[in-house]
Amino acid sequence: MSTQSRIIAHVDLDYFFAQVEELLNPELVGKPVVVCVYSGRTAESGVVSSATYAARRYGVRAGMPIARAKKLLQGVEAILLPLRREVYQNFSEKVMDTLRREVDTVEVESVDEAFADGTRWTGGDWRKAFQLGQVIKARVLSETGLRCTVGIGPNKVVAKIASDSAKPDGLKIVPPSEVSSFLKPLKCEALPGVGPKLAARLASIGVKTLDQLSALEIEPLSQLVGHKTAQYLRLASRGEYEEQVKEKKERKQIGRIITLKNDTREVDEIVDQLEEPLASLAEAAARLGVVARGVGIIGITTRLETVTRARSFDTPLSFEELHEIVRTLFVSLLTELSDVVLRRAGVRLFALERPTHQTRLTAFNADKVYELG
DNA sequence: CCCTCGATCAC
DNA sequence: CCTCATATCGAGGG
């Protein structure tokens, strides 16, 4: 069979968190609904995580401080709701299962996005691509109640840009014959992986559109953005990015980060507040059936700069050891950086492995148990 | 080559 | 005024 043209769908749930809240409380439908992450520092501190289109009409956007959103919504009958991660995760899983029932391969990109390989579904026939999109949208709606936007293209990059261009509740097909004209006029930021920083670098050599980007020689581009990124930009901008849709494997790391009650550089104060996150991580690791050989800390300074420290080991770490290493890492961080004050602090576990027969470790047992070697 | 760290992205 | 979680890249050191 011709491995030539695949038919890839990108499925993007519309204003996902806020849409779930609407679904759970139909009175909210059509109103400005804003799902917020409250940091707990003050009653109102935090950011917007998701907003309905009614709220967006007032300029509310994800990532915006809650205080600013409230200003924009002054005098408006708006509904602010706290984030309910587990609830959205459950809906997400239902959606992903729905997709898996329809196509062979589903690659979960995030809680609200997935790629679906529709090559088999369509028999490789682009005349069936629209039908594939309609079926995906209809199945997701009937099985979960959620609306989504579907972009379909010959590769993941084109499919994702297509869905971006069609939201909300849209369906956009970009067959191979249209890829070039579809991509050419777009700004570089339209490519997944190109954010403000990379876009600024490209702009510094006068490159603003995918058309311009696709015309660059690889060498100078590589000088500017590094080897891997240059290869990616070249292929992606030409519509020639051919990474296959594949199920994601095991998680490589898990982490938690919190906003501290007060800005501080007191290790005790920091580690105290990291007790819960650490326990939560231990639980998450246990649920995943993994142990960690590495642990790291993250600090966000009052100037909003990120500082990290990490250590890895050749055997898995017990909960007690994690705790101790986290403390040590914060001590050395704060000793080395005598002028930083932390606003936020976090912990992450990496080098995650399934326990071998040599090691047993459960979430809440303190001791690492070795068999005799 | 491996490790650590910071940056970036995108959510 | 500034959340939270993950992956990846590249630089620098060993």
Distances (CA, A) of A261 to A82, A84, A88, A101, A274: 19, 21, 27, 45, 11
Q: Considering only residues 193-232 of chain A, list those whose CB is below 7 Å from strand C.
A: 225-230
- Euclidean distance between CA atoms A73 and A198, whole angstroms: 33
Select from A261, A327, A254, A256 the least CA-distant residue to A291.
A254
- Euclidean distance between CA atoms A154 and A241, whole angstroms: 9
- Euclidean distance between CA atoms A268 and A262, whole angstroms: 13
Locus of tokens 């004209």: A181
- Euclidean distance between CA atoms A214 and A216, whole angstroms: 6
Q: Is the CB of A294 under 7 A from strand B?
A: yes
Residue by residue, pLDDT tens for chain A (373 residues) are 545 789 999 999 999 999 999 999 999 999 999 999 998 888 888 999 999 999 999 999 998 999 999 999 999 999 999 999 999 999 999 999 999 999 999 999 999 999 999 999 999 999 999 999 999 999 999 999 999 999 999 999 999 999 999 999 999 999 999 999 999 999 999 999 998 889 999 999 999 999 999 999 998 999 899 999 999 999 999 999 999 998 887 888 999 999 999 999 999 999 999 999 999 999 999 988 999 999 999 999 998 889 999 999 989 999 999 999 999 999 989 998 888 899 999 999 999 988 875 554 443 333 333 322 2
A157 touches A194 (CB < 8 A):
no
Positions of A marked catalytic: 113
Q: Considering only residues 79-118 of chain A, list those whose CB is below 7 Å from strand C.
A: none
> Which pLDDT value is given to residue A358?
58
For residue A130, the one-letter residue type is F
For residue A207, the one-letter residue type is V
Q: What does DSSP assign to residue A29? A: T
How many angstroms is C1' of B7 away from CA of A179? 32
List, in sequence order, every residue forming a beta bridge with A79; answer none if it has no partner.
A33
Q: Which stretches within chain A are classed as H helix?
A: 16-24, 53-56, 66-72, 85-102, 119-122, 129-144, 156-166, 176-183, 196-204, 210-214, 218-225, 227-237, 267-273, 275-288, 319-336
- Euclidean distance between CA atoms A229 and A247, whole angstroms: 23
- Euclidean distance between CA atoms A301 and A249, whole angstroms: 33
- Euclidean distance between CA atoms A220 and A99, whole angstroms: 41
The distance from CA A334 to its chain's CA centroid, rounded to whole angstroms, is: 30
Select from A294, A283, A280 the least CA-distant residue to A252.
A294
The b-or-e profile of A288-298 (16+ CB within 10 A means b, else e) is: eebbbbbbbbb
Q: Considering only residues 185-224 of chain A, list those whose CB is below 7 Å from strand B.
A: 189, 191-199
> Which pLDDT value is given to residue A372?
24
Sign of the four-CA dihedral A195, A157, A118, A147: positive
Q: Is the CB of A66 under 7 A from strand C?
A: yes
How many angstroms is C1' of B9 away from CA of A370? 40
Locus of tokens 């898996």: A100
A173 touches A133 (CB < 8 A):
yes
Q: Is the CB of A257 under 7 A from strand B?
A: no
Locus of tokens 């009175």: A27
- Euclidean distance between CA atoms A218 and A214, whole angstroms: 10
Select from A110, A144, A127, A123 the least CA-distant residue to A10.
A110
DSSP A67-136: HHHHHHTTTS--EEEE--HHHHHHHHHHHHHHHHHHSSEEEEEETTEEEEE-HHHHTT-GGGHHHHHHHH
